[in-house]
Every structure is written in structure tokens, then in C-alpha cells.
Amino acid sequence: MRSLPRDLHPVAWWLWAVGLAAAASLTTNPLILLMIIGVVGVVVAARRSDHPWAKSFRFYVWLGVAAVFLRVLFRVVLGGGYPGTVLLDLPEIPLPDVVQGISLLGPLTRESLLSGLYDGLRLAAIIICVGAANSLANPKRLLRSLPAALYELGTALVVAVTVLPQFTQSIQRVRAAQALRAGETGRVRRLRRYLVPVLEDTFERSLALAAGMDTRGYGRAGTATRAERRTTGALMIGGLCGVVVGVYALLDQTAPRILAGPMLAVGLLVALAGLVVSGRRVERTRYRPDRWRAPEIAVAALGLTAGVIGWWVNSEQIAIAYPDLSVMPQVSLAALVAVALGALAALVSPPPARSAR
Amino acid sequence: MTTLLDQRAVPLALRSRVVLVIASLAGLLMLCWPLLVQVPADGGGRTDPPFLFLLLLPLVIAVVIAEISEGGMDSRVLAILGVLSAINALMRLLSAGTAGVELVFFLLILSGRVFGAGFGFVLGVSSLFASALLTAGVGPWLPFQMMCAAWIGMGAGLLPRRVTGRWEIAMLAAYGVVAAYAFGLLMNLSGWPFLLGIAVPGHEGNLSYVAGAPLLDNLQTFAVYTLLTSTSSFDTGRAITTAIALVVLGPSVLTTLRRASRRAVVAVS
């Protein structure tokens, strides 16, 4: 199936990445984690566009490398006394009493190194997954697909993103004007002389922009009735209360379990319902909305399925998900399938649109 | 007089305040979770960092924003919100490279002061979101940063209104120092178990977080960790730059912001 080059819906890429990141967060198996990182890299290489944000992937990879490195370094410097096979017998340097029994270096064990490496890899995999979404999804179009309830925030952000180039203009104008004028030359004074006109200029522009937005019907109050507003409020407050109780029960493992998972899920659903209801008041059409077509659904479903399988491996195949530090980690068929599903995204998504040069 | 005008930028109804309080509680729980974890007495079972929170926190923030902007925001306020987010994002971009010198909070605090708590909250969220979008820097840390920045903006709006003139600047600068340190502390607290891992039962005496250990022990370990890694270096730099920027540029920027707010808000009513 050859499809025409086009940009995939940004939300589809984010869902895919979140699914893979979830799968990565549920295991410390280095083989699975490395496979996930590899798959993400392949998909990014195959499907990223030539827009500026597409180049950010490299930065996330380096960040991931740094996370692994930091984790291992911390293990070496602070991890003395970890039980296991001693690899390197470093001298132990006790710190003064103020820092309660913490000592630097000390015998370095294989288990200590490995557990640092595994945990670091997990963090790196999550960071790299998010980085993949960053470089695959178009941020401007992502803003346009914010839920309707966040319409105001979306508008403000669109203003923010588009207004940036105007700053350079403002700054140039102010600089030119001040070069012609005598005045204070002290550092602080000059900065102040500089900042105030630039700020004034941008506010001037923003009010002009607001007037333009007014005539086009932005920022209008909704048409929600009192009863509707009350429903929204009840849903949001109820949902948030559920989330608070759920989070607390999740952390306090001595609390009844019914309060943890189920309560959290109910709270989440109610809060989401509140968002949907509050979004209904926004009656606006979108210019050329991004559509959900088969490839979008397929990419999102692949990522989320990988996440679900990752969760299953985490709860059913504990030895695979969290391998013992003393033996070679193994991989199960389910884990392989999850990773392979993630890689399929490169095949089902259309090639990115190349901008004309 | 000014209070009435200022609060109107983003009015906070009683219901919005209730939502804000509950959401802040949820956010605080998710930020401070390492100190709250209680493990059953019989031990056993591994504790993993709750990666779930990385998805949960954005939802909580979304609910608050939806609630605050419910009923529609005025287009002038929207435009100013956009412009201020852009400036904040730009300042964050420019100051990111230099260690410890962070200018994000400076304008955030001043805007929260002038436009009120609701506006400050939304601006904190939108500034960090905009800067993350611009640099393609959306990461797992973003929701936590958004929540903390929102609190800083909101707190600036809640400071006593009556203080004016020099004392106002002094108060804002003091608030800036506290906010800079608190931001560093909370971000460290959220990142600590992720970055250092969770200590294995029976093996203590390093800087890692011990799940279910007495609150005081964990706090002590955390204090050492944060002191070593950032409080004494990055956070101090951030606090100093924020305070200096507030003292040096605060008065003139406050005047500019007040003028803009008067034009934006009065014209509506």
C-alpha cells in the first residue's frame, strides 16, 4: 500500500510514543529497552519531516545517554556496599557525620553497576520515546488539535508562537531609534531604556491583534446555561477529588486497594467527562482540520497495543520484565511482539511531506 | 481601586478557586510522592517510580485551565497572555545555556502581581508549554515544571495588594528568591527517585530514595542530595538573578504592565 506523502496527525504520533514509553516504563529488561530505543530510532529516521523540530531527536538521544551515564556514575560514587560480586575494590571515603552515614566510592559490585545501568536505560528509553514524538509531530498542528475545553489556552499559545518573529522587528526598531538619540549609557539604564519601549510596542501590537480577533469572533463567552455550567463544575470537582484520593491510595500501600486503581480510574473518567462537557460550549469550526484516517488510527493503535502488552508482561512475566541481576536477561515472545508492533508504525504511516526547496 | 481592576483580567469565581485548591493538592501529592509512600509492614514487592503521574498531571492541569477559562476569556486578555508567554519563552531560551541564570520567573512574578492570581496561574502553564513547543523540548519533566511555574505565578497574584512603591519591589524580590529555591526543591523532589533510583531494601547509606522509610530519614537524604546537586549552585544562581532582575527592571516593567492592564481591562467594562 503506497500512500501519498503527507504529515500524519500529530496526536497519532504522540499516542504511539506514549504507548511505547509506557511499555518502557514497565520493564527494566535491558534487551527490551534497547529494542524499544532502536525501534523508535528507526521510525524517526524513516518518518520525520525536514522541518526544524524534526532535528531535535538527536538532542533527546544525547539526553538519554546522559541519563544512563549519570545513573551509573551515581552508583559508582555513592553505591558502595551494594551486595554482590565485587568487580573493583575502591577505597571507601566516609563523609562527616552531618550527612548521616553516606560514604563515597567503596567496593564496586557487578549488581550495583547493572542495576544502575538498567534503571538508567529505562529513563533513557522514556526520554527518547518522548523525543521521537517531538520530532515526528508538528507542534503547530498539535496546538490546533488541543481539546475544545482548552480553546483559550490554545489561542494564547498560537499567539505566542506567531508573535515571536515580531520581537526581532521591535528590537531593531527600538535600537535604530535609540542610536539616533543621546541618552544615558550606563549598563542598567540602557537596558531599562531598551526594555520598556520593546514591551510597550509588543503590548500595542497585542491589543491591535485583540481588536482583530474581536471582529472575527474570538474570545466570546459561551452560550452555556446555568444548569450546564453547574454540571461541568460538578464533574470537574468530583473528578479531581477522585484523582486526589486515588493518588494518595496509590502511594499509601496500606490504604484499601479499592481506593487506588478503581478510584483513580473513576476520577480520571469523570474529569475527562468534565473536559468534554466544558468543551461543548465552544462553537467554532476549524479551518482545514486534521482528519483521522486509517494510518492515524493504525499508528495510534500500534503504540497503545505495545503499551498494553508491556503492562501484561509487567504483571504476568515478572522474570522477563524485571530480570534478576545475576543472570543474562531473557526476552519473551510477548515482549518481542510489543516491540515489533511499535516498529510497524514506520510501515503503516505515509511518508512525510517534503517541503519544496 | 486597583484591586478591582486588576482582578478582572482573569476572574476567579468561587468554583474556580475550589478547583484550583483541589488540583494543587493533587499536584502537590504527585510532586512529593517520595515522602508519602507507605509500604506494607511485611515488605516485599518492588516500588517503582509512578510513571503514571506523568500522564495524570497534564490532565489535572488541563482541568484547571478549562475551569478558569470557562465562560470564555476576553480577547485582549488572551492576546496579552500570548505575548507574555512568548516573551517568557524567549527569555527561557536565551538564558537556558548559562548555568543558573534563569529569567523565566522575573516576568511571571510581575505579571501575576499585576494581572492577578488566575492570570498568573495560566501564564505559568502557557509560558513553559510555549517554550517547550518552540524548542521541541516536551519531556517527562514538563508537567511538573508547568505546575510549579503556575503556582509561582498564582502566588505572586496572592501577595498583599496594599504594599506599594519600594516595599512592593522588596516584597517581590523576596518572593522571587523564595520561589526560585522552592521551584528547585520541588523539581528535585520529583526527579530524585527517577534519576537516582530507589534503594533496594536492606541496602542503605547512599543518596537514593528509600521507599517507605520514615519521613524524616528520607527528608534528610533528600536534603543532602538537593544541597549537593543544585540548591547550592543552580538554585542560588537562579534566586540571585531573579532578585536582581526584579530590583533593577521591576519598577519600569510594573508600570508598563499596569498601563497595559488598564487598557485591556477598562476597555471591556
Tens digits of residue pLDDT in A151-162: 778 878 877 777
A184-195 burial string, b = 16+ CB within 10 Å, else e? Answer: eeeeeeeebbeb
Instruction: Mark whether A140 and A177 lie in a shared domain.
Output: no
Q: Specify if A2 maps to a domain.
A: no
Q: Are B104 and B184 in contact (CB under 8 A)?
A: no
Distance from the A14 Cα atom to the nearest Cα atom in chain B, whole angstroms: 11
Q: Specify if A175 maps to a domain.
A: yes
B224 touches chain A (CB under 8 A): yes
Share of chain A above pLDDT 70, in %: 85
From chain A, pick out residues whose CB is under 8 angstroms from the CB of B40: 253-254
Q: Specify if A356 maps to a domain.
A: no
Instruction: Mark whether A24 and A122 lie in a shared domain.
Output: yes
CB contact under 8 A, B72 and A219: yes
* Structural domain boundaries enclosing B248: 2-266
The ipTM, to two decimals, is 0.75
Instruction: Mark whether A201 and A155 lie in a shared domain.
Output: yes
Q: Which of B15, B33, B126 sits opposite A233 (nearest CB)?
A: B15
Look at residue A135 and tell me whether its pLDDT is greater than 70.
Answer: yes
Lowest-pLDDT choice from A211-215, A234-238, B107-111: A211-215
Instruction: Mark whether A154 and A177 lie in a shared domain.
Output: yes
The residue of chain A nearest to residue B19, with distances taken between CA atoms, is A237
Task: Please state, in angstroms and rounded to a whole number, the distance separating the CA atoms of residues A40 and A32.
Answer: 12
Distance from the A86 Cα atom to the nearest Cα atom in chain B, whole angstroms: 15
Residue A35: per-residue pLDDT: 93
Number of compact structural domains in chain A? 3
Closest CA to A329 of A42, A144, A118: A118
Residue B269: per-residue pLDDT: 42
Mean pLDDT on A112-140: 85
* Structural domain boundaries enclosing A172: 146-220
* Interface probe, candidates A50, A69, A126, A199, chain B, greatest B C-beta count within 10 A: A199
Instruction: Mark whether A49 and A109 lie in a shared domain.
Output: yes
The residue of chain A nearest to residue B244, with distances taken between CA atoms, is A188
**Which CATH number goes with the domain that contains B16?**
1.10.1760.20
| Angle subtended at Cα A181 by Cα A180 and Cα A185, rounded to the nearest 5 degrees | 115
The reply to whether the predicted model has a pTM over 0.80 is no
Residue A47: per-residue pLDDT: 86
Instruction: Mark whether A45 and A106 lie in a shared domain.
Output: yes
Tens digits of residue pLDDT in B230-267: 666 677 877 888 888 888 888 888 888 888 888 776 55
Residue A174: per-residue pLDDT: 83
Residue A286: per-residue pLDDT: 66
Residue B6: per-residue pLDDT: 45
The residue among A214 and B205 whose pLDDT is bigger is A214
Lowest-pLDDT choice from A99-113, A171-185, B66-80: A99-113
What count of CB pairs under 8 Å joins A to B?
Answer: 278
Look at residue B212 and tell me whether its pLDDT is greater than 80.
Answer: no
Task: Please state, in angstroms and rounded to a whole number, the distance separating the CA atoms of residues A34 and A36.
Answer: 5
CB contact under 8 A, B197 and A207: no
A303 touches chain B (CB under 8 A): no
* Rg, Å, chain A Cα set: 26
Closest CA to A74 of B108, B87, B195: B195
Q: Specify if A202 maps to a domain.
A: yes
Q: Helix (H, G, I), strand (E, B), or coil: what is residue A303?
A: helix
Distance from the B200 Cα atom to the nearest Cα atom in chain A, whole angstroms: 9
Q: Specify if A3 maps to a domain.
A: no
Instruction: Mark whether A37 and A107 lie in a shared domain.
Output: yes
**Structural domain ending residue among the three candidates A169, A196, A220:** A220
Instruction: Mark whether A133 and A31 lie in a shared domain.
Output: yes
From chain A, pick out residues whose CB is under 8 angstroms from the CB of B71: 221-222, 224, 229, 281
Q: Are B212 and B47 in contact (CB under 8 A)?
A: yes
Distance from the B192 Cα atom to the nearest Cα atom in chain A, whole angstroms: 11
Look at residue A173 and tell me whether its pLDDT is greater than 60.
Answer: yes
Residue B210: per-residue pLDDT: 66
Tens digits of residue pLDDT in A12-67: 998 999 899 888 888 888 999 999 999 999 999 988 888 777 777 888 888 889 88
The DSSP letter of residue B231 is: I
Residue B203: per-residue pLDDT: 46
Distance from the A73 Cα atom to the nearest Cα atom in chain B, whole angstroms: 10
Q: Specify if A354 maps to a domain.
A: no
Number of compact structural domains in chain B? 1
Tens digits of residue pLDDT in A58-94: 888 888 898 888 878 877 776 655 667 777 777 777 6
From chain A residues 208-247, the ones with a CB under 8 A of any chain B CB are 209-211, 213-214, 218-222, 224, 229, 232-233, 236-237, 239-241, 243-244, 247
Look at residue A267 and tell me whether its pLDDT is greater than 70.
Answer: yes
B223 touches chain A (CB under 8 A): no
